[in-house]
Structure 1
């Protein structure tokens, strides 16, 4: 299945500010129309809060759908390569998530590279999740209804937080949702994953850009073998949350994300891995008018409401 041109244009519109200067007038009009789909009013409420940790505050934004108080909570870590992205930039995505899932969503504004190298980001994310788990009365959601989630670099952070939680023994999320996560440390031609070579130069996210992001994020070469930096480096995949991994067909990160799901499954965890046909990396940031985005939310909703054993595909 070919990549839909409209998806490619939409993702470029969301990724680049100078597209109007480089594309044709017709393409520019398409960009404006796609951006307009991200506007409009949704029924949700927001609150800003901070979680204090050591010598700094970690901002969070809480999204509640409609007027009813949900009994489930998604703690979400945004993507953009550990070096970009903010809770402001993810407002619409988190609002859509709250309304499409019927869950309260907590968006975490973790520290970014290169000003703050690894492990600043996963430590910030861990501290927010820890605060919520150890004080469930704050948002009035039981611990078993709390899910950690993220897209791309945020998916990497969600996986890292689950590994940290198991290792530190203070809490353990019931579920995690990893949307096209980065899980491996090598995205050069030496990578064992074919998707890095097949999808690493023809689409918006390139293998070179992934390497560049990781160079900015890492503090030393030793980080490459740290499972909180690259979850596939873990020597122990046991005792992890029920897991949903969603990948995109034309994504250089596709195979490593799916391999992570397989490793979790082999270690006895409940895992579901779903590949979205015709999708590019970053598609989750598009509005739900796109079929691939609606399918992604359907999978998330089914996963959040399902009981029993998952499966790897």
Structure 2
């Protein structure tokens, strides 16, 4: 790993950073450093309404330069359920749309702690239900996708759609997902201990994010926050799990793929070596992004 990059990672891994106190500042910094495209780029905003209180759920639609495939993608952004939005994820979604040759629908779900669990999950489920059920059976299938907390939401939505006997996506892509509730030294996953202190995303930060999202530990153990705790993982979409070598979440993401396979599903893991959590927001010419796009397209385009 580049020594300068490793030094920067150690700086942002400082235990002095307290997510529960600093999350609003982190939101502002994220917006400040998010490079926005020209306003003439191929995007369109729309609103989907929730049923309970009729609040709006913003959805941004990204059209690729060249549309190569009919299956659209529903994307849930990362950010620990606390930071991130469709603005800060506009550039990554443009890159994904162009790379995949597919239309992407990016969901601006509600964030904790203002809207704790299950608010964000409910928004994601509502958007998936509205978009996927509007199609006839003979029309293109949908792909569910997300990174980090967004990948966690995607996995949870797939489980909930199955339980509600709703239409499922044909495939899901989970990029360094959160799949388990315990991110302390007592975790069963070795990557928590080996990668949890010096690589940007620390186990302290993960724990603080989760406590903002779901303050009750018992709730954090439920399958809609910790899909690895699900008693039944059958009837899930074909799944690609992408992990990062130096990510504390690496092992639990790969464990989820194994659990899906053991339950009779098709699941594949692609580990991006010499990489850390959060690389999906990197510029598209960087090695982790190029490798990830190649792995995604190989997974989607196999017949």
Q: Give the TM-score category using the shorter length.
A: 0.7 to 0.9
Counterpart residue number, 2:59: 60
Give the drift of 1:50. 0.8
1:194 to 190, 195, 207: 190
1:155 to 151, 163, 172: 151
Residues 98 and 221 of structure 1: CA distance in aligned 2, closer, same or farther (over 3 Å): same
Give the drift of 1:14. 11
Measured in 2, the distance between the counterparts of 1:143 and 1:10 equals 44
Whose strand proportion is higher, 1 or 2? 1
Give the drift of 1:302. 1.0
Asked if 1:299 is matched to 2:295, the reply is: yes
Q: Secondary structure at the match of 1:279?
A: coil
| Conserved? CA contact 1:44–1:66, under 8 Å | no
Aligned length: 282
| Conserved? CA contact 1:245–1:258, under 8 Å | yes
Measured in 2, the distance between the counterparts of 1:223 and 1:126 equals 18
Counterpart residue number, 1:26: none
| Conserved? CA contact 2:9–2:199, under 8 Å | no
| Conserved? CA contact 1:44–1:67, under 8 Å | no
Asked if 1:95 is matched to 2:94, the reply is: yes
Counterpart residue number, 1:18: none
Give the drift of 1:5. 4.3
**Alignment map for 1:129-208 (pairs within 5 Å):** 129-136=128-135, 142-144=139-141, 146-208=142-204
- Extract unaligned runs of 5+ from structure 1: 16-34, 308-313
| TM-score computed with the length of structure 2 as normaliser | 0.87
| TM-score computed with the length of structure 1 as normaliser | 0.84
| Conserved? CA contact 1:11–1:282, under 8 Å | no
- Extract unaligned runs of 5+ from structure 2: 14-32
Counterpart residue number, 2:285: 289
Q: CA RMSD in A?
A: 2.6
Measured in 2, the distance between the counterparts of 1:247 and 1:13 equals 23
Give the drift of 1:173. 0.8
Counterpart residue number, 1:25: none
